[in-house]
Amino acid sequence: MTEASPAPVQTEYVSTSVVDHMNPLFFKNHQSHSQIHASHQHPHSGNYTPPVDDASSAFLQTPVPRRLSIQIDGKPAVVPTVSSITATEASYSTPPATPPLAQGSSKTISEAIAWCAARARIPTPDGSEYFLHIYENTKDKKEHLAFVFGDAIRSKSLDKAQWNETEIDRVKRGAYSGRLRNTVSDENQQQGHEGVTLPTNYSTDEAQLANKMTTPAVPLVRIHSECFTGEIGHSARCDCGEQLDEAIRLMKAEGAGVVVYLRQEGRGIGLAEKLKAYNLQDLGYDTVMANLMLNHGADERTYEVAQAILEDLGLDQIRLLTNNPDKIEKIEKDSQIKVVERVPMMPKSWEAIERGMEAEFEVKEGAVENKVVRGKELDKYLKVKVERMRHLIPIPSSMGV
């Protein structure tokens, strides 16, 4: 096929002062600004991005076309506007999570705001389940997470209606209550959701839901920083994997709780730097000194995003699972959040030593079994946390302290 010359484009421009964060095409258009220009040059190329006939295009700093009158081969091209997009087409443009300014937050601009982009049920091997929430925020581009146990804890930003979204849009991003039921037949399996009429009864019945809505007045919360080595890599240098498992176990037992999982690997220095720190630790430096020798702080983590996630989940009173007083101070600082109780996280191997139950841990030195970690390297790591980072863990008397 020979390429025709670019078709003439007439444009109208709109003011740049209006920002409509509620528009589901807000981010989409942000990304496709260059595409819009490219498509002006080659509107016949098949990559044409339709202009948006509303204020959503107005947030861009440079004037952008509001209406385009396009001709291809001398004939007017049919360009859909937002209002002419059908429900099915619109549902492919899944709206972004409720953007920050749409939440009516009273926070100042310097503080983080977080909003839930999607949520889904995660069944676990013991038959229980939780809802994994993925968050976006105004502070960084990382995918922070919340594991939410129980039905009573809800994300405000997730539940908020978004502009022009269809019911299937809401289902896709997890903004429903109860449990989804499988209603897809073999026939419409092949067609994606286009042939599917969404049942109105996709929530479980309300009575059943109400039973599950009982939750402790002050829920258990764990604010946990990512540790690839301890959680995925079976490392026995730290107890991070064990702590995550234990937090989840306790929340399952209570039927409620939240693990806020922050992407602050290596106390905020990142995995590459943490691996360098491990090499220094193998030379004999402790975990604090190793960080300092790499020109990092002993702990570079911040907790504004965790505060914002808890705020979105409506939690201002929490029982925090931690041994780290610094974490408590930082989570309460400049926020409504109150840690009404600190729930200690005793390292399982130290607990066993204290109780004289070491025989129960008949695993080889340094080995990890059922995520219970033990060994000299862990003992050293934990002791440094107590002695240099103020962690509130009783050191077993048999360790000579």
CB 206, min distance to ligand GTP, A: 37
Residue 187 half-sphere exposure, CB side, CA atoms within 13 Å?
A: 3
Secondary structure element (H or E) that encloses residue 116, with its range: strand 114-123
Per-residue x/- track, 197-236, ligand GTP (CB under 6 A): ---------------------------xxxx---------
**Of 195-203, 238-246, 309-317, 358-366, which part binds ligand GTP (CB under 6 A)?**
238-246
CB of 150 to ligand GTP, least distance (A): 21
Q: Which of 165, 246, 265, 377 binds ligand GTP (CB under 6 A)?
A: 265
Ranges within 273-302 binding ligand GTP (CB under 6 A) = 274, 277, 287, 291
Question: What's CA 310's distance to the chain center, in Å?
Answer: 12
Q: Which of 56, 91, 103, 243 binds ligand GTP (CB under 6 A)?
A: 243
Instruction: Tell me the closest approach of the beta carbon of residue 119 to ligand GTP, in angstroms.
Output: 22
Closest CA to 25 of 7, 3, 51: 51
Q: Where are the alpha helices (DSSP H) in 5-108?
A: 26-31, 33-41, 87-92
Inter-residue contact 298 to 290 (CB < 8 Å): no
Q: Does 307 sit near ligand GTP (CB under 6 A)?
A: no
Q: Which of 23, 155, 324, 349 binds ligand GTP (CB under 6 A)?
A: 324
Residues 6+ apart with CB under 8 A from 18: 55, 58, 59
Closest Cα to residue 96, out of 5, 178, 1, 29?
29
SS3 213: coil
C-alpha to C-alpha distances, 39 to 27, 44, 81, nearest whole angstrom: 18, 8, 16
Q: Which of 119, 267, 301, 374 is catalytic?
A: 301
Question: What's the token pair of residue 383?
Answer: 């002791």
Evaluated on CA atoms 269, 270, 274, 275, the torsion sign reads negative
Does the annotation count 301 as an active-site position? yes
Binding mask 143-182 for ligand GTP (x = CB under 6 A): ----------------------------------------
Q: Is 126 a catalytic residue?
A: no
Stretch that binds ligand GTP, among 14-22, 125-133, 261-269, 353-361 (CB under 6 A): 261-269
Tell me the one-letter amino acid at 326: D
Residue from the set 91, 155, 264, 349 that interacts with ligand GTP by CB under 6 A: 264
Enumerate the active-site residues. Answer: 299, 301
The contact set with ligand GTP (CB under 6 A) reads: 224-227, 238, 240, 243, 264-267, 269, 274, 277, 287, 291, 322-324, 327, 345, 391
